[in-house]
Structure 1
Amino acid sequence: MSDFWARAADLRAEQQPLISRFQAAFSTGIVVYGAGFVGTWAVQYLQGLGAKVVCVADRNPAKWHTAIRGVPVVAPEDPAVAETGWVLVAARHAAKAVVEQLTATGLTALSFDAFFAVSRYPDILEINNAFLADELSRQTLGAVVLAWLSGSPAPCRDVQAPDQYFCLPGFADDDRHIFIDAGAYVGDTVEKFIWACHGAFKRIHAFEPGERQFAALRQRTERLAAEWALDDGQIALVNAGVAEASGRMACVNVSGPAQSLNLVEAAADRDDLPTSAVYSLDDYLQGQPASLIKADVEGLELALLRGAAATIRRYGPKMALSVYHFPSDIFEIPAYVRRLDPGYRFALRHHSPLLMETVLYCWKD
C-alpha cells in the first residue's frame, strides 16, 4: 500500500500536459461524456471554471433532447462530439473503457476524475498532510486518488475496510448514543447499528425521503423493535430528506433506475417531478442532542452539515460522512467540519471495491 502516493505522483506528472491542453480548449469548447450524477456535477464545475461545455454525450436515449444547465444531452455519435474533439469522461465506473474507445476514434479523451485530481492536487494533499489522523487514512486517500488517475478501481480493493460507519471505536459501542441516520434507505444501517451496540442506545432518528424505501424501512424497524424488545418510540422514522434548510425539494434520479433518490432544488421548468419534505437537523432537533450522525444523502452531505451547524458546535457528535458523491467532497467536507469546530479529528476509510462508499469519520477526543 505504501506506493499509492508515489504511483499517483507519477501519473499526475504524466497527465499534466494533457490537462493543460484541456484547459486551453475551455474557450473553444469541450464535451462531457455521461449525463449521470457525476456528469451533471461536472458540467456545473467546468462552467464555473469558465469552460464552454458544448454538449453532454450519453448512451441512454431517454436522456437525449434534454439539457443540463442549458447544455444539450446528445448521443455519443452526434456530430457535435467529433467536431468539438475534447471529451472529459464522467461515466465514473466505465471511464477507462470509454476513454480508450473515444481515443481510438481520434478524439482527445480523459476521465473527469483524472482531470479533477490533477487540477486540485494541492487541495487533496492538504487534507492528507494536515487533517488525517492515521497512516491507514493517508493510504486510503492515496488509493482513491490513484483510482481517479488510473481509471481502475483496483487500489480501492487494496484498502477496502469492513464495518462501514461503525469501524472505529466509539462509533457504536456507547449505550448513550442518540443516532441520526440521514439517508436511512431501507434500514440496513439502522440494523447494523443496533447489532453493533447490542441493542443498547438511547434513540434513533432515521430519515428517508423515498416512499418505497421508507415503507421498507418501517417494516424493518417494526421487526427490529420486536426482536430487540425496544421501547415504543425508541426509533423515530421521518419520511423526509435532510438538507441545509427545511422545506421541500424535488426528487430525481439522474443515474437511471437505481433505488436511491437525489434531492435537488425544484426547478420552474420541471414541475412534473415529485417532491419530498426536507429538514435541517437544527430545525428538527430544536436544541436536543445528537451523539452520532451518519450521512449518505446523495451529494447533500455538505448541505446537511450547514443545516446542523448549531448541533455540531453544541454537542460535538461523532460523524460518519460519505465523501464520494462529488470529487470535491473529499477535501471540502473535512475543511468545513474543522471550521465548525477545530477540535475534530479525522479518519478516512473505503468500504467498497469500486469508487464509492468512501467515508470520513469525525470525532473529538
Structure 2
Amino acid sequence: MLAPPAWLERLGFRTRYRLADLTYALGIATPKRTVAGTYRSYEPTNPHGDDPGLAALDRLPDDATVLDAGAHVGEHAIPLAVGTDRRIVAFEPNGESADRLARNAARNGLADRIDLRRAGLGDERGSLPFYRSTFSKCSAFDRDRATRWGARVDAVEEVPVFRLDDLVEGVTSDDAVDDDAADAAAADAVDASTVTPVGDPVPPPDAIKVDVEGHELAVLRGAETTIRAHRPLLVVEVHGTAGDDHADALAAWLAERGYDADERGDVWICRG
C-alpha cells in the first residue's frame, strides 16, 4: 500500500489537532473502544485502540504497577486503569497534554487513581528545554521532531527530567531528588491537590511503557538498575526503523540486558 503524500499527512495532522482543540473546548467526551476495554475521552480520535503494546500491558495482573513514560493524554494509562486496581504512574512533560490527561482521567473517575507526574524521564537528572509543538503528539526534547509534518514550535519550556532509578523504591540513588523542581512542575496542574510531586518515590514496576519521540534509549538507560532488579515488561514505541542508528542502538541495548524484542511495527514488546 502506498504511503499518502506528505501534504496529505500534514493536512490530516492539522485537522486532527484543530478538532481536538474544539472537542476539549466544548467538553465533548466520546467512548473509545480499545483492546484493554472502553473508556471516555475528549480526544476526537482513537489512535491506540488496537495497539499491540496496549494489549500486552492489559494482560498484566489487575494489581500490576505500570510506569507510563510519555503518557500524552492517557490513551494507555486510562484504559489500563479502568475497572482494575492497577497502579499507573504517568510521566508527561508537555503541560498541555498533562492538563488533558488530567481531564480525561477525571471524566473516567480516575483522578485519584492515575499518578500524574509533570516531568520527563531520561538518563540524567536535571532539566531540559522541551519543544511544545502545535501538533501536541510531536512535542519533544528535540526541536526537529517537534516540527515534523508542517508543525511549528509553539513554546519552549524548561522541564524537570528524572531518572527512573532515582525514583523507584529500593533502587533510589544516593543523590537527593530536586524537590524544588518537582514542586514547580506540579504548580500548573489542573487540580494540584490530585497531582503527586514528581520526585516522590514510585513502586517497583511490573511494566514500563515508553513513547517519547526519539528519547527512548535515554529513558531506558536511566532505568537500568530498575530493569536489572525487577525485569519489567517493556513496551517501547520506537521512533526509527530497522537499520538506522537509533533503532539499532536500542536493539543492541536490550539484547545486552537479556531482553527479546517482539517487533510489531513501531511498537516493540520486550521481555527479559
1:274 to 2:152 alignment: no
Give how far 1:171 is off. 4.7
After superposition, the C-alpha distances for 1:281-305 in whole angstroms (9 at most, x for unaligned) are 1112243411111100111100001
1:165 to 2:53 alignment: yes
Q: Name the amino acid aligned to 1:301.
A: E
The answer as to whether partners of 1:171 and 1:318 remain within 8 angstroms in 2 is no
Give how far 1:192 is off. 2.6
1:94 to 2:6 alignment: yes
1:323 to 2:238 alignment: yes
The answer as to whether partners of 1:171 and 1:292 remain within 8 angstroms in 2 is no
Q: Residues 204 and 276 (structure 1 numbering): CA distance in 2 closer, same or farther, change over 3 Å?
A: same
1:199 to 2:91 alignment: no
**TM-score when scaled to structure 1?**
0.45
Give the whole-Å Cα distance in 1 for the aligned partners of 2:109 and 2:260: 34
Partner of 1:257: 134
1:362 to 2:261 alignment: no
After superposition, the C-alpha distances for 1:117-174 in whole angstroms (9 at most, x for unaligned) are xxxxxxxxxxxxxxxxxxxxxxxxxxxxxxxxxxxxxxxxxxx993342233x65341
Percent of matched pairs sharing the same residue: 28
Partner of 1:105: none
Partner of 1:211: 95
Q: Residues 335 and 161 (structure 1 numbering): CA distance in 2 closer, same or farther, change over 3 Å?
A: farther
Q: Residues 211 and 335 (structure 1 numbering): CA distance in 2 closer, same or farther, change over 3 Å?
A: same
1:177 to 2:89 alignment: no
Q: How does 1:1-365 map to 2 (within 5 A)?
A: 94=6, 162-168=50-56, 171-195=58-82, 198-201=83-86, 203-225=87-109, 232=112, 234-252=113-131, 257-260=134-137, 261-264=139-142, 273-287=156-170, 288-325=203-240, 327-340=244-257, 342=258, 344-350=259-265, 358-364=266-272
Q: Residues 236 and 161 (structure 1 numbering): CA distance in 2 closer, same or farther, change over 3 Å?
A: closer
The answer as to whether partners of 2:81 and 2:88 remain within 8 angstroms in 1 is no
Q: Residues 359 and 167 (structure 1 numbering): CA distance in 2 closer, same or farther, change over 3 Å?
A: same
The answer as to whether partners of 2:130 and 2:159 remain within 8 angstroms in 1 is yes
Secondary structure of the equivalent of 2:136? coil
Secondary structure of the equivalent of 2:73? coil
Q: Name the amino acid aligned to 1:262.
A: A
Give how far 1:252 is off. 1.7
**Deviating 4+ runs (over 6 angstroms):** none
Secondary structure of the equivalent of 1:310? helix
Give the whole-Å Cα distance in 1 for the aligned partners of 2:54 and 2:103: 23
Q: Residues 334 and 280 (structure 1 numbering): CA distance in 2 closer, same or farther, change over 3 Å?
A: same
Larger radius of gyration: 1
Q: Name the amino acid aligned to 1:345.
A: D
Give how far 1:346 is off. 1.9
Give the whole-Å Cα distance in 1 for the aligned partners of 2:85 and 2:92: 23
**TM-score when scaled to structure 2?**
0.60
After superposition, the C-alpha distances for 1:203-256 in whole angstroms (9 at most, x for unaligned) are 110011111111111112223335xxx8x4x32110011111111110125xx6
Give the whole-Å Cα distance in 1 for the aligned partners of 2:157 and 2:227: 31
Give how far 1:263 is off. 1.2
Q: Name the amino acid aligned to 2:226.
A: T
Give the whole-Å Cα distance in 2 for the aligned partners of 1:173 and 1:273: 37
Q: Residues 161 and 183 (structure 1 numbering): CA distance in 2 closer, same or farther, change over 3 Å?
A: closer
The answer as to whether partners of 2:63 and 2:84 remain within 8 angstroms in 1 is no
Give how far 1:93 is off. 6.4
Unaligned runs of 5+ in 1: 1-91, 96-159, 266-271, 351-357
